[in-house]
Amino acid sequence: MAAPWEDVLCDTAAIREAALVAVDAALLAGVLMRTEGRPNASDVVNYAPFTLLPSAVPRALFEQAYAVQQDFNLLVDAISQNKEFLEHTLASTIKVDDFTARLFRIYMQVLEEGLAQSVFLGINRSDYMFDRGVDGTPALKQIEINTIAASFAGLTSRTAAVHGQVLQVLGKSEEASRLLPNNPSKGLALGIAKAWELYGSPSAVVMFLVEEVQRNIFDQRCVENELWNRNIRVIRKRFRDVFEKGSLDDARRLYMDGQEVAVVYYREGYVPQNYDQQNWEARLLLERSRAVKCPDIATQLAGTKKVQQELSQPGTLERLLPGRTEAAARIRATFAGLYSLDMGEEGDKTAAAAVADPDRFVLKPQREGGGNNLYGEELRQVLEKIRDSPERTSYILMDKIKPQPAMNYLLRAHSPLQVSECISELGIFGVYVRRGKEMVMNEAAGHLLRTKAIEHADGGVAAGVAVLDTPYLV
């Protein structure tokens, strides 16, 4: 699975020249992040880390990932509407994981009050690796599905042009012409715009709910600008702004600073550190409102690791997607081995197997945002400590995926230019809009390739481990 430019990897002078061009091209194209030193100021910025060269991706697996995305959209939406499934699946987790439990309490409170929201918008990203099988044939295996704050749709929309220019500088014009167009920022904006339209109030705004620290603001601005170009007003607020200034009227319409909010697009709220008591109250206010939440709290719960593990059980997909046998088969074909650590004989066996051979597995907590998974010796130590405690039910165990490494250069500000052995992760963005029971939009909206050196077990671009990349189909 080699890319057709391995001949230039050892040409130091050509690589150095291409790296200079690449950095300038990234800055020109807006592949940008704020600096760690000044994360809330845009007067000093730098390029977001990226690979010097595109990475080879098997065409058949890339097409498989796109083909199954609409199925995953339908599945996430079905889970979000199935109270019994969420209650049953998360029963053990909410006893030991306070964060999931608090989300679940808000979910139940909103259901008991009766949903004011009638239009539902899902923006998710399904992430995969290419597992090297016993015979060396790569297979598409899902890592996770992100149902809240799935990032880098904006920056990845601008990365292919940078890689195209690098290939041209290296004398690979024909290969440059084969890089795929990719604009998920437009795809996400189309979903938000459709939800805004169906909400039915032309003067209402879209609210991006953003973090206190906003290093990745330009990624969000790409989506935001697509909305402004459609004459849709966008405001950016934090949880504390909602707590201090948010209100609901008698019809449970949401107002911020006197402006009606049609859509709340979460780029925050996916980890416990995002919440204090005020922020939990703000989240409840948002969930009680008529505004279209992306995601609503049921859809956030649908993205938990425990749900991912439960979906791998025989018959579960068929129950959630009745009459869609082929969709269930397409989804199941992407699953890696997933195992429960619930209390009881099955969980005891799973824990024992992982302690005996920790390099076979990944231990995953109910968390988003990268950098949370445990591997190898660390996995063994944690499991030995909690193997007889209900605390283990806040994790799931997954087979460790073993992709074929490839050589590339990872460009980071203030880092030396050196070749690294790398592995990649492919994400497909999905967007859907439902009004009542009618699915109005269901699309695969673009892709994201992230690459990291093999010495890093876990972590994404925002976590400072992976870098942006572009797939070159082989």
Pick the catalytic residue from 269, 368, 430, 460.
368
338: β partners: 398
172, two tokens: 């690979």
SS (H, E, C) 63-74: HHHHHCHHHHHH
Q: Are residues 37 and 66 in the same domain?
A: yes
The verdict on whether 186 is a catalytic residue reads no
Residue 345 CA, distance from chain mean position = 33
If one counts the domains in the chain, the total is 2
Identity of the residue numbered 218: F
For residue range 420-433, what is the model confidence (pLDDT) as tens digits? 999 999 999 999 99
In this prediction, residue 134 carries a pLDDT of: 78
Q: Are residues 86 and 225 in the same domain?
A: yes
pTM over 0.75, yes/no = yes
Cβ–Cβ < 8 Å for 100, 163: no
Q: Are residues 316 and 374 in the same domain?
A: no
In this prediction, residue 151 carries a pLDDT of: 96
Q: Are residues 289 and 386 in the same domain?
A: no
Cβ–Cβ < 8 Å for 407, 107: no
The verdict on whether 368 is a catalytic residue reads yes
In this prediction, residue 6 carries a pLDDT of: 81
Coil vs helix vs strand at 388 = coil
pLDDT at 459 over 60: no
- Single out the residue of 223, 184, 218 nearest to residue 207, CA to CA: 223
Cβ–Cβ < 8 Å for 209, 265: yes
The verdict on whether 141 is a catalytic residue reads no
Q: Using CA atoms, how far apart are residues 182 and 161, in angstroms rounded to an integer?
A: 10
349, two tokens: 């066996």
Phi, psi of 350 (to 5 degrees): -60, -45
Overall average pLDDT of the 387-396 stretch: 89
Of 373, 400, 427, the last residue of a domain is 400
Overall average pLDDT of the 256-277 stretch: 97
Instruction: Identify each DSSP E strand in 332-462 by its residue range.
Output: 338-340, 361-365, 395-399, 406-411, 419-435, 438-453
| Cα distances (Å, whole numbers) of residue 454 to 58, 68, 86, 459 | 19, 28, 36, 11
In this prediction, residue 367 carries a pLDDT of: 77
Cβ–Cβ < 8 Å for 137, 341: no
Q: Are residues 326 and 341 in the same domain?
A: no
Pick the catalytic residue from 369, 371, 459, 464.
369
CATH of the domain at 383: 3.30.1490.50
360, two tokens: 């076979």
Q: Label residue 450 by pLDDT band (50, 70, 90).
A: very high
Pick the catalytic residue from 146, 216, 420, 424.
146
In this prediction, residue 460 carries a pLDDT of: 62
| Cα distances (Å, whole numbers) of residue 93 to 88, 89, 99, 339 | 10, 8, 10, 14
- Single out the residue of 439, 330, 454 nearest to residue 401, CA to CA: 454
More confident residue, 401 or 365: 401
Pick the catalytic residue from 172, 364, 392, 452.
364
Q: Is residue 110 part of a domain?
A: yes
Overall average pLDDT of the 132-161 stretch: 94
More confident residue, 174 or 4: 174
Cis omega (within 30 of 0) on the bond before 39? no
Q: Is residue 52 part of a domain?
A: yes
Domain that holds residue 297: 6-336+401-473
Neighbouring C-alpha atoms within 13 Å toward the C-beta of 249: 10
Pick the catalytic residue from 80, 151, 182, 185.
151
Cβ–Cβ < 8 Å for 286, 269: no
Q: Are residues 231 and 318 in the same domain?
A: yes
- The residue with tokens 């330009």 is 218
Q: Using CA atoms, how far apart are residues 69 and 46, in angstroms rounded to an integer?
A: 33
pLDDT at 190 over 70: yes
The verdict on whether 290 is a catalytic residue reads no
Cβ–Cβ < 8 Å for 54, 469: yes
Q: Using CA atoms, how far apart are residues 250 and 235, in angstroms rounded to an integer?
A: 23
Q: Is residue 1 part of a domain?
A: no
Q: Is residue 238 part of a domain?
A: yes
Q: Are residues 238 and 350 in the same domain?
A: no
Pick the catalytic residue from 158, 221, 253, 450.
450
In this prediction, residue 179 carries a pLDDT of: 98
Of 367, 400, 433, the last residue of a domain is 400
Overall average pLDDT of the 44-60 stretch: 97
In this prediction, residue 8 carries a pLDDT of: 87
Q: Is residue 327 part of a domain?
A: yes
In this prediction, residue 5 carries a pLDDT of: 82
Overall average pLDDT of the 286-308 stretch: 97
The verdict on whether 95 is a catalytic residue reads no
Q: Using CA atoms, how far apart are residues 216 and 445, in angstroms rounded to an integer?
A: 20
Of 400, 435, 454, the last residue of a domain is 400
pLDDT at 457 over 60: yes
Q: Are residues 332 and 417 in the same domain?
A: yes
Q: Are residues 391 and 407 in the same domain?
A: no
Q: Using CA atoms, how far apart are residues 381 and 101, in angstroms rounded to an integer?
A: 26
| % the chain with pLDDT above 70 | 97
The verdict on whether 369 is a catalytic residue reads yes
For residue range 330-346, what is the model confidence (pLDDT) as tens digits? 999 999 998 989 899 98
In this prediction, residue 465 carries a pLDDT of: 83
Least confident residue range of 50-64, 211-225, 348-362: 348-362
Pick the catalytic residue from 144, 224, 310, 425.
144
For the chain, how big is the Rg over CA atoms in Å?
22
The verdict on whether 293 is a catalytic residue reads no
- Single out the residue of 373, 372, 447 nearest to residue 152, CA to CA: 447
Q: Are residues 238 and 297 in the same domain?
A: yes
CB atoms within 10 A of CB 94: 21
| Cα distances (Å, whole numbers) of residue 261 to 113, 242, 302 | 20, 11, 24
Q: Are residues 177 and 261 in the same domain?
A: yes
Pick the catalytic residue from 288, 305, 380, 452.
305
In this prediction, residue 372 carries a pLDDT of: 80
- Single out the residue of 469, 269, 457 nearest to residue 369, CA to CA: 269
Q: Is residue 288 part of a domain?
A: yes
CB neighbour list of residue 250: distance below 8 Å, 6 or more residues apart: none
Q: Which class for 95: exposed (0-12), middle (13-18), buried (19 or more C-beta within 10 A)?
A: middle
Q: Are residues 302 and 155 in the same domain?
A: yes
